Amino acid sequence: MSKIEMLSVVFFMSLLCQGLSVVSFGKEFITAFPENIAFYFPQDSRNALKITAFHNDTIVTVTFNFTDRNITLHSGQTNILNFPKDVEVCFFMSSQKSVKIVSNKIIVVLWISQRGDSVQTNVVQPTPNLGTRYSIAALNYNAMTASSIEESTLFAQNSLRYGSVRLIIINAMNITNTISVQIVSTNGQKDNNFTLSPYELYQFSTSGSATMVYSSNKVALLLTHPCAETTICGCNMVVSQILPMDMWGNEFVVPSLRNMSTAWLHVTSTTKDTDKNLIRTLIQSNSSELIPFPDLDVKSQYITAPNNVSLRLISPGIIIELIPVTMFGACFLVQFNSTQGEAFVIAEDRDKHNVHIDNGLLSTSVWRNISKSNYSTKSVPLDGTHIIWHPTSKIGVYMFERMVSGIVYGGPAILLNEQPDHDGCVAEGVEFITATDLMTWPESHQYCLNGSYQMFSPTNKMAQDKMTMWLQKNANQEDIWIGLRRSLLTEEWYWQIGNESVRNVNYTLWADGHPVEPQNALCASVSPQAGRNFFWKSVRCCFKLRPVCFKSATYFNEITFEMVDFNISAV
């Protein structure tokens, strides 16, 4: 049995990362820009962040070199923040060259580094997605790529600064962080303990050794190489933000990429006991084996393991941190720098024809089934900014682009929401509030409108259930107004939704004995008294109760995106 076949044996285990929030948006981020040598490109490097806001009056503070820069964004606006050359982390030492991003409302951050034709992008993970335990298996990038490039010069193979894989540890917290680094090589284990001040970082060479990182508080971890050889007389800076160990998984779909005939799978595991009959030599404690990945340019691969692992797809010029199936979600943002973008979509076979892009269906043609799995994949040529989502199922999405040389760059797309919604990609869900004071039905209606809400109208069972769940947690044992009342002329019930009257009342949940005669009650409330099922009651409109107000959900796919440049160095 081959190594790939051994990985393809299906195992079922509970995963450590189930239940974790892994969305890519947030209000706090920390990152850094590794050194981008790209030796054969004489141009200066360009380092930038794409910051996208989803709501108006979003105030973003970017801190670099002890200086704060403030920008204000509106809904759908993406600002490209260009940084000066000295932002790059060049030396093996601690420094304050981190870049901190804080916002008053949710944003997403895409990291870009470019020098000539050498381009890399990476989704910056919000602080809640960071961890305190990381493991990275041994990786000799130079030796690996040299085996695939004839007459490779490997100009920096013997240079520690220019020829080694590096790790950058960034303290993500505003407190002193205690760090323990264990480097395991053929010569034994070396421990290095130190502290990082708030938002300080530390860079060191892994020297082809397995590395464990433990911290007292959350850190970000970047795996990088300043000039990994890709072709004869060509190299790219590569970078990958490492997932913490509690986000590992045991089920993966490896995306197929055109013209990627040379690729390896980099496996990291910390499990000491494995099934020797199946993967005796494949996954060992704190070690890895680089597994050649043939035919990846023509077909995707489905991979499972008997324990939680971290997987990276490596090819000359790129390192892709693969997302486990448990980190699939309902909707993703894809942002492309060029017109050569490609979204790679993974969906379950039964749901693949219901994937949406923006406000329409994705083309249902040319889906490719992945053998030994219930998943299919589809590659979609794109440029600009788009939302890819599914109304009922979780999917996986990667975003890739190509340099002029044809080398791929990119990685996982920006995860916006984990849970599906029939109406789109939810930015903010339904929001409920109740008033502090008692008031009449007309006063309640106006109260909700004054706060940019409306009185809640449970027009169907799903809406009733949502209201019930919220009221059970937040309401007292008292009747509450809803947006239902009778017409004085026709005595028919209608929904008052904002300033609009909706006459079709097809769903009702009246309590026993209700509604009473029109002359006695023209408005409606819900009552928690009967087993807290919140049945409806007809009530005089002049009674004084509290209203339940709500704000409709907003959706990412309804946002119109635009892009502007902003020069950090010029501020």
Output the DSSP codes for 149-173: STT---TTTT-HHHHS-EEEEEE-S
Please, which pLDDT band fits residue 279 given cuts at 50, 70 and 90? very low
Instruction: Give yes or no: residues 446 and 393 share one domain.
Output: no
Task: For residues 264-285, give the mean pLDDT.
Answer: 51
- Report pLDDT for 534: 87
Residue 304 within any structural domain of the chain: no
Domain final residue pick, 426, 447, 479: 426
> For the chain, what is the domain count?
2
Please, which pLDDT band fits residue 143 given cuts at 50, 70 and 90? low
d(CA 332, CA 125): 14
Instruction: Give yes or no: residues 538 and 472 share one domain.
Output: yes
Please, which pLDDT band fits residue 315 given cuts at 50, 70 and 90? confident
Task: For residues 7-23, give the mean pLDDT.
Answer: 37
Tell me the three-class secondary structure of 456-473, residue by residue. Answer: CCCCCHHHHHHHHHHHHH
Q: Is the pTM of this model over 0.85?
A: no
Instruction: Give yes or no: residues 444 and 359 share one domain.
Output: no
Instruction: Give yes or no: residues 452 and 391 share one domain.
Output: no
Q: By C-alpha distance, which of 429, 441, 430 is closest to 547?
A: 441
Identity of the highest mean pLDDT range in 166-175, 476-485, 492-501: 166-175
Q: Which two tokens stand for residue 308?
A: 């939680």
| Residue 153 in this model has a pLDDT that exceeds 50 | no
Residue 472 within any structural domain of the chain: yes
Per-residue pLDDT tens over the stretch 195-233: 999 999 999 988 778 899 999 999 999 999 887 766 656
Identity of the highest mean pLDDT range in 86-95, 206-215, 523-532, 557-566: 86-95
d(CA 184, CA 402): 35
Q: How far is CA 265 from the centre of its chain?
A: 22
| Residue 61 in this model has a pLDDT that exceeds 90 | yes
Cβ-proximal residues to 390 (8 Å cutoff; 6+ apart), any chain = 330, 331, 347, 351, 354, 355, 356, 420
d(CA 143, CA 147): 6
Residue 119 within any structural domain of the chain: no
Residue 522 within any structural domain of the chain: yes
Instruction: Give yes or no: residues 337 and 404 share one domain.
Output: yes
Domain range enclosing 470: 431-552
| Residue 39 in this model has a pLDDT that exceeds 50 | yes
Residue 233 within any structural domain of the chain: no
CB 316 within 8 Å of CB 145:
yes
- Report pLDDT for 350: 94
> How much of the chain, in percent, has pLDDT values that exceed 90?
50
Residue 465 within any structural domain of the chain: yes
Per-residue pLDDT tens over the stretch 402-423: 888 788 899 999 999 998 988 8
Please, which pLDDT band fits residue 400 given cuts at 50, 70 and 90? very high
Instruction: Give yes or no: residues 453 and 508 share one domain.
Output: yes
Instruction: Give yes or no: residues 463 and 534 share one domain.
Output: yes
- Report pLDDT for 210: 87
| Residue 147 in this model has a pLDDT that exceeds 60 | no
Domain final residue pick, 426, 448, 475: 426
Q: Which two tokens stand for residue 410?
A: 């990119």
- For residue 373, the SS3 value is coil
Q: Kindly state the helix (H) or strand (E) to which residue 535 belongs, with its residue range.
A: strand 535-539
Average pLDDT, the chain: 83
| Residue 73 in this model has a pLDDT that exceeds 80 | yes
d(CA 54, CA 333): 11
- Report pLDDT for 232: 58
Burial class (CB in 10 A: 0-12, 13-18, 19+), 504: exposed
Instruction: Give yes or no: residues 365 and 448 share one domain.
Output: no
Of 219 and 292, more confident: 219
Instruction: Give yes or no: residues 377 and 453 share one domain.
Output: no
Task: For residues 454-471, give the mean pLDDT.
Answer: 89
Supply φ then ψ for residue 473, to 5 degrees: -95, -25
- For residue 503, the SS3 value is coil
Q: Which two tokens stand for residue 554?
A: 């907003």
Please report where in the chains the tokens 């240079």 appear, as a residue: 159
Burial class (CB in 10 A: 0-12, 13-18, 19+), 450: exposed
CB 118 within 8 Å of CB 41:
yes
Of 220 and 55, more confident: 220
Q: Which two tokens stand for residue 194?
A: 């130190």
| Residue 439 in this model has a pLDDT that exceeds 80 | yes
> Tell me, what amino acid is at 222?
L
Task: For residues 487-495, give the mean pLDDT.
Answer: 91
What is the domain-level CATH number for residue 479? Answer: 3.10.100.10
Please, which pLDDT band fits residue 7 given cuts at 50, 70 and 90? very low
Q: How far apart are the first and last CA of the chain?
A: 60
CB 378 within 8 Å of CB 345:
yes
- Report pLDDT for 161: 55
Instruction: Give yes or no: residues 529 and 443 share one domain.
Output: yes
Instruction: Give yes or no: residues 462 and 497 share one domain.
Output: yes
- For residue 445, the SS3 value is helix
- Report pLDDT for 273: 41
d(CA 106, CA 115): 30
CB 476 within 8 Å of CB 546:
no
Q: What is the DSSP letter of 127?
A: G
- Report pLDDT for 165: 86
- For residue 487, the SS3 value is coil
| Residue 547 in this model has a pLDDT that exceeds 90 | yes
Q: Which two tokens stand for residue 138?
A: 């041994």
Residue 475 within any structural domain of the chain: yes
Per-residue pLDDT tens over the stretch 502-524: 888 999 999 999 999 888 899 99
| Residue 37 in this model has a pLDDT that exceeds 50 | yes
Residue 131 within any structural domain of the chain: no
Q: How far is CA 156 from the centre of its chain?
A: 35
Task: For residues 150-168, give the mean pLDDT.
Answer: 59
Residues facing residue 180 across a β-bridge: 193, 214
Instruction: Give yes or no: residues 463 and 548 share one domain.
Output: yes
Domain final residue pick, 373, 397, 426: 426
- Report pLDDT for 462: 84
